[in-house]
Amino acid sequence: MIEEGTTLPFRLYDFLAYLFPGAATMHAIYIMRRDDVSQLAQSMLTGQVLVDIMLGFIAAYLIGLIWSVITWLGVRMLVWRFCNPRIDYYSESEAAKSPLGVVLNKRLRGKVQEIFGPDIVDARQAHRLCRVFVTNHCAGSWERRASIVGVRAMCANCIGPVLLYGVAFARNDWWTLSIIAAVGCTALTFKMITLDQREWKEIYFAFLVGTTVQRSIEPTRIAGGDDV
């Protein structure tokens, strides 16, 4: 029986996906309220360099976590109303738009029902089951998926800080930089969408290949052959 959930090892890009946006946020706020931030920083400094650096890292990381929640509940949920590859790539009605194509889309739905039961027709339930299967049986694909998710988290979490930079530049009448920041927000949003699509393309393809390979080696195991 397949159990959901897996503990991923520590990865540097996962850490940076929170640390970098948090540090950028602190810098953007400093640009907007230079004097107030300087006074606040002076009051919080301990005078010990290593301790102060660690406090800065912790503050940046926590701010990055907050951006992660805001992005998830705000930007990503809004984007999913128009483009949700988890659902679209599996849905029969969206098969023509799926990178799987009509034939593989149909085979995907058939494989899900074959393995998990004929009652699995809801795309929201099916995408979780496919992800769990890939987690447990397709280590290479899951590793690639983890890399995609790390970069996507970085892009998503940077949307807010870049927007803050745009506001900070506008307050200082640096309109060219403010426009660049607005373009950057748009680019990060589209990159996040693209990486979301890549993640689910990887998962669904891996599920199809993994279930096919597993099925092909079952007769060998049953007959007492070598374990492939």
Range list of β-strands (E), the chain: none
- Predicted local distance difference test score (pLDDT) of residue 158: 92
Does the pLDDT value for residue 170 go beyond 50? yes
| Domain boundaries, position 88 | 12-216
Q: Is residue 183 part of a domain?
A: yes
Find the range with the poorest average confidence among 2-6, 9-13, 87-91, 146-150.
2-6
Q: Is residue 157 part of a domain?
A: yes
Cα separations (Å) of 130 from 3, 96, 196, 207? Answer: 12, 20, 15, 6
Instruction: Name the residue among 133, 145, 158, 157 with its Cα closest to residue 196.
Output: 145
Helix (H/G/I), strand (E/B), else coil: 30? helix
Q: Residue 215 — pLDDT band, cuts 50, 70, 90?
A: low
CA distance 165 to 24: 8
Instruction: Name the residue among 146, 128, 36, 138 with its Cα closest to residue 90.
Output: 128
What would the pLDDT profile of 96-139 be if each residue is shown by its tens digit? 777 878 888 888 888 888 888 877 667 778 888 899 899 888 88
Q: What is the mean pLDDT of residues 170-194?
A: 92
Does the pLDDT value for residue 159 go beyond 90? yes
Q: What is the mean pLDDT of residues 24-44?
A: 81
Does the pLDDT value for residue 2 go beyond 70? no
What is the count of structural domains for the chain? 1
Residue 172, token pair as written in the block: 């200082």
Q: What is the mean pLDDT of residues 180-201?
A: 92
Q: Is residue 82 part of a domain?
A: yes
Q: Is residue 46 part of a domain?
A: yes
Instruction: Name the residue among 184, 189, 138 with its Cα closest to residue 163.
Output: 184
Angle among Cα 110, 81, 22 to the nearest 5 degrees reads: 110
Q: Is residue 4 part of a domain?
A: no
Q: Is residue 222 part of a domain?
A: no
Residue 184, token pair as written in the block: 């950057």
Q: Is residue 1 part of a domain?
A: no
